[in-house]
């Protein structure tokens, strides 16, 4: 029996594939490579020393998804595939709703047809909206401030409704905070197409000389140094969380949400300082206006995941930055 990983060539998906392979699982990857690269699959196999079955396909193509289920005995699905840029989602909301929601509904319909009713879902801390009551707990009220976040919120509700209609389903809704870092090998990491949307790859590209400076959006928040505070966790810790969630859905019907985070926050400038220490490179910064929808402080209460999944983050911020810099040097030929 295999595990299907949609979006398996992406940043979090690729690291999760490695952890699954290392745990002796058979892995089938579906990816349309709209924000990932085919060579990542070869790197997954190089790191793990095992092969994956790859389908270059799109969840909007029901025929392709059906064929993949017909050709493989799939036990469960870990679902990463989706568009994920907040700013872009505001510019092209219909594209985000169609891709993220229709694609997932297609996946669920095919899963039901093949009696595969166990799914680990890549949700997001964006479902907490503009809550300021930190740390965020799974019981907090939910909302969203942009179309990307709304797709995650809607899909959580769709999965809850699906379970209510058929109690054989099991969903783990993983709300992650801010994944950073890279695999120790330096082969896998976050390598977005175009200008990075997330802090660490942006910092890394400045350190590598690919971008002139880091824009820091706001230095007047009510935080220790005025910059936004977020819960950064190592991508390998996050990948292990998906492995634990896979074990959970095998035996626990329902639709349960879990925060995956460290339970503490770091400011933008603390991240910059740690990256400067890891790289030995000074990161030029320019202060820019706050971005709409950003809040001062956001970090998780991860206790539910520890209790139910047996998971907790183990790697610290210095290790996250060191691993990111190792990947950046290798990826940009700076070794």
Average pLDDT, rounded, for the chain: 96
Q: Verify whether residue 299 is a known catalytic residue.
A: no
CA dist., res. 140 & res. 176, Å (int): 15
pLDDT band at 195 (very low <50, low <70, confident <90, very high): confident
Catalytic residue among 55, 96, 148, 248: 148
Q: What does the pLDDT average to over 269-298?
A: 94
Tokens of 14: 């690729």
Sort strands 297-298 and 229-230 into parallel, antiparallel or unpaired: parallel
Q: Which listed CATH number (3.40.50.80, 3.40.640.10, 3.40.50.720, 1.10.287.470) goes with 2-179+233-260?
A: 3.40.50.720
Per DSSP, the chain holds a count of helices (H) and strands (E) of 12, 14
pTM listed for this prediction: 0.97
- What was the pLDDT predicted at 217? 95
Q: What does the pLDDT average to over 179-190?
A: 97
114 near 86, Cβ under 8 Å?
A: no
Q: What angle do CA 108, 112, 115 make, to 5 degrees?
A: 135
Dump strand ranges (E) for the chain: 2-6, 26-31, 53-56, 74-79, 118-124, 170-176, 178-180, 214-217, 229-230, 232-234, 254-260, 266-267, 285-288, 297-298
Q: What does the pLDDT average to over 9-29?
A: 98
Sort strands 266-267 and 229-230 into parallel, antiparallel or unpaired: antiparallel
- What was the pLDDT predicted at 151? 98
Dump strand ranges (E) for 44-156: 53-56, 74-79, 118-124
Q: Looking at 5-9, 42-46, 83-87, 103-107, which range is the least confident one?
A: 83-87
- What was the pLDDT predicted at 190? 93
Neighbours of 222 (CB within 10 A): 9
Sheet holding 74-79, edge to edge: 53-56, 26-31, 2-6, 74-79, 118-124, 170-176, 254-260
CA dist., res. 130 & res. 23, Å (int): 38
250 near 244, Cβ under 8 Å?
A: no
């Amino acid at each position: 029996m295999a595990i299907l990983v949609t979006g398996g060539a992406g940043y979090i998906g690729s690291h999760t594939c490695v952890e699954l392979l290392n745990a002796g699982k058979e892995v089938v990857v579906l990816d349309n490579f709209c924000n990932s690269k085919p060579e990542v699959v070869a790197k997954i196999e190089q790191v793990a020393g095992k092969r994956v079955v790859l389908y270059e396909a799109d969840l909007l193509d029901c025929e392709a998804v059906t064929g993949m289920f017909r050709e493989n005995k799939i036990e469960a699905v870990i679902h990463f595939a989706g568009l994920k840029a907040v700013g872009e989602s505001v510019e092209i909301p219909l594209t985000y709703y169609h891709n993220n929601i229709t694609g997932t509904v297609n996946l669920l319909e095919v899963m039901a047809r093949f009696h595969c009713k166990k799914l680990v879902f890549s949700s997001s801390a964006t479902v907490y909206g503009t809550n300021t009551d930190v740390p965020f707990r799974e019981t907090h009220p939910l909302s969203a401030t942009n179309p990307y976040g709304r797709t995650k919120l809607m899909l959580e509700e769709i999965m809850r409704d699906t379970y209510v209609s058929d109690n054989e389903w099991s969903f783990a809704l993983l709300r992650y905070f801010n994944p950073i870092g890279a695999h120790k090998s330096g082969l896998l990491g976050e390598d977005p197409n175009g200008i990075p949307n997330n802090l660490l790859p942006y910092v890394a590209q400045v350190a590598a000389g690919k971008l002139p400076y880091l824009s820091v959006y706001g230095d007047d928040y009510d935080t220790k140094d005025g910059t936004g505070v977020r819960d950064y966790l190592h991508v390998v810790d996050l990948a292990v969380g998906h492995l634990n969630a896979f074990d959970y859905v095998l035996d626990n019907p329902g639709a349960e949400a879990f925060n995956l985070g460290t339970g503490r926050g770091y400011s933008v400038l603390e991240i910059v300082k740690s990256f400067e220490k890891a790289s030995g490179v000074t990161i030029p910064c320019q202060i820019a206006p706050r971005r709409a929808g950003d809040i001062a402080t956001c970090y998780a209460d991860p206790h539910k995941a520890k209790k139910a999944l047996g998971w907790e983050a183990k790697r610290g911020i210095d290790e996250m930055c060191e691993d990111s810099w190792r990947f950046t040097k290798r990826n940009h030929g700076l070794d």
